[in-house]
């Protein structure tokens, strides 16, 4: 069973400027709740017992959000408001599960993952990218079930417009398992329209094998000079590591772009 999850949070969030210039984008409210809490709730509901948050010194506010006891204790004593007590209790519950590591230079998702190398215990772990919210069905939970059944790495996937392939990791499938799941035999980070092997994109939920660290330590910078997790995954696939692409059933909300961020509050308020 997968017990550990990691969440890279050290990105600059430039697509959400000016909102993210002072406040880390993951603390921005989505329908009255910070985006990061949706991701943590997905992990908890999927049975995850430890969540490693990869932050940077610039985003220390994320840590402060979970460690603000003095403030809460004072206000609870003064106001005796049961709602505040309830919210503080939730924060304390998250706190039992979270750990922090630092990635002070935004050198890519692969570089962020490498920072957790000494903390990962089991053969597989879960990674969630906080820009990608998936509502209505717990995608992590479904992926954990697939991992259990096939002893395979898994990535969430979605068909995108052919003209949009340059924005995503794009994969090529080898064998259909069923309507929603495929074994894949290649993945390319943000390919050109010409080089894209399909219009099937990787979305920000991954079950990765611990052995990815042996690839990441020697991974050279790729697209845009960053160390991409996609490139390390490609290298593992070429070594015959099994990877499943899972077409999730929930609804995808892209909270990393301004349009998507605004839309996500609207969609969640309808639930």
Q: In this complex, which beta carbon is closest to ligand G1P, that of residue 59 or of residue 228?
A: 228
Residue among 30, 36, 40, 129 that touches ligand G1P (CB under 6 A)? 129
Residue among 38, 124, 125, 168 that touches ligand G1P (CB under 6 A)? 168
- Site map for ligand G1P, 189-228, x if CB under 6 A? x-----------xxxx-----------------------x
Q: In this complex, which beta carbon is closest to ligand G1P, that of residue 4 or of residue 157?
A: 157
**42 in contact with ligand G1P (CB under 6 A):** no
**10 in contact with ligand G1P (CB under 6 A):** no
Q: In this complex, which beta carbon is closest to ligand G1P, that of residue 42 or of residue 189?
A: 189
Q: Which of 212, 244, 233 is nearest to 142 (CA)?
A: 244
Per DSSP, the three-state class of 98 is strand
For the CA atoms of the chain, what is the radius of gyration?
19
Q: How far apart are the first and last CA of the chain?
A: 30
Residue among 169, 209, 222, 260 that touches ligand G1P (CB under 6 A)? 169
Q: In this complex, which beta carbon is closest to ligand G1P, that of residue 94 or of residue 112?
A: 112
CA angle 229, 98, 7 (to 5 degrees): 20
| Cα–Cα distance for residue pair 134/251, rounded to 1 Å | 5
- How far, CA to CA in Å, does 224 sit from each of 16, 191, 215, 228? 19, 12, 19, 10
CB of residue 140 to ligand G1P, shortest distance in Å: 15
Q: In this complex, which beta carbon is closest to ligand G1P, that of residue 28 or of residue 76?
A: 28
CB of residue 170 to ligand G1P, shortest distance in Å: 8
CB of residue 70 to ligand G1P, shortest distance in Å: 35
Backbone conformation region of residue 108, classed left if phi is above 0, alpha if psi is from -120 to 50, else beta: left
The set of residues, in sequence order, having a beta carbon less than 8 Å from that of 175 and lying 6+ positions away, is 182, 183
Residue among 138, 147, 153, 230 that touches ligand G1P (CB under 6 A)? 230
Place of tokens 């609207």: 266
Q: In this complex, which beta carbon is closest to ligand G1P, that of residue 38 or of residue 94?
A: 38
Q: In this complex, which beta carbon is closest to ligand G1P, that of residue 109 or of residue 140?
A: 109
**2 in contact with ligand G1P (CB under 6 A):** no
Q: Which residue is nearest to ligand G1P (CB)?
A: 169
CB of residue 266 to ligand G1P, shortest distance in Å: 20
CB of 215 closer than 8 Å to CB of 232? yes
Task: Classify each residue of 179-207 as buried b or exposed e, where b means 16 or more C-beta atoms within 10 Å of its C-beta.
Answer: eebbbbbbbbbbbeeeebbbbbbbbbbbb
The residues binding ligand G1P (CB under 6 A) are 109, 129, 131-132, 168-169, 189, 201-204, 228, 230
């Amino acid at each position: 069973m997968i017990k550990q999850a990691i969440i890279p949070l050290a990105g600059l969030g430039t697509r959400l400027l000016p909102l993210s210039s002072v406040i880390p984008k993951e603390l921005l409210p989505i329908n009255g709740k910070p985006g990061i809490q949706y991701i943590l709730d997905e992990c908890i509901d999927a049975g995850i017992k430890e969540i490693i948050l990869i932050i940077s010194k610039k985003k220390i506010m994320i840590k402060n959000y979970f460690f603000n006891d003095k403030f809460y204790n004072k206000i609870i004593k003064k106001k005796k408001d049961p709602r505040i007590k309830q919210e503080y209790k939730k924060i304390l519950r998250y706190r039992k599960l979270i750990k922090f590591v630092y990635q002070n230079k935004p050198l890519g998702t692969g570089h962020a993952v490498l920072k957790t190398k000494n903390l990962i215990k089991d053969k597989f772990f879960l990674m969630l990218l906080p820009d990608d919210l998936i509502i209505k069905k717990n995608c992590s939970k479904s992926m954990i079930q697939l991992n259990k059944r096939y002893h395979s790495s898994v990535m969430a996937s979605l068909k995108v417009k052919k003209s949009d392939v340059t924005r995503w990791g794009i994969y090529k499938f080898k064998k259909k398992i069923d309507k929603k799941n495929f074994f894949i035999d290649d993945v390319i980070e943000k390919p050109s329209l010409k080089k894209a092997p399909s219009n099937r994109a990787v979305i920000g939920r991954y079950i990765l094998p611990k052995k990815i660290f042996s690839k990441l330590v020697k991974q050279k910078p790729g697209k845009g000079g960053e160390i991409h997790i996609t490139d390390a995954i490609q290298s593992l696939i070429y070594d015959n590591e099994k990877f499943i692409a899972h077409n999730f059933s929930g609804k995808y909300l892209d909270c990393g772009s301004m349009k998507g961020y605004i839309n996500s509050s609207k969609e969640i308020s309808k639930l």
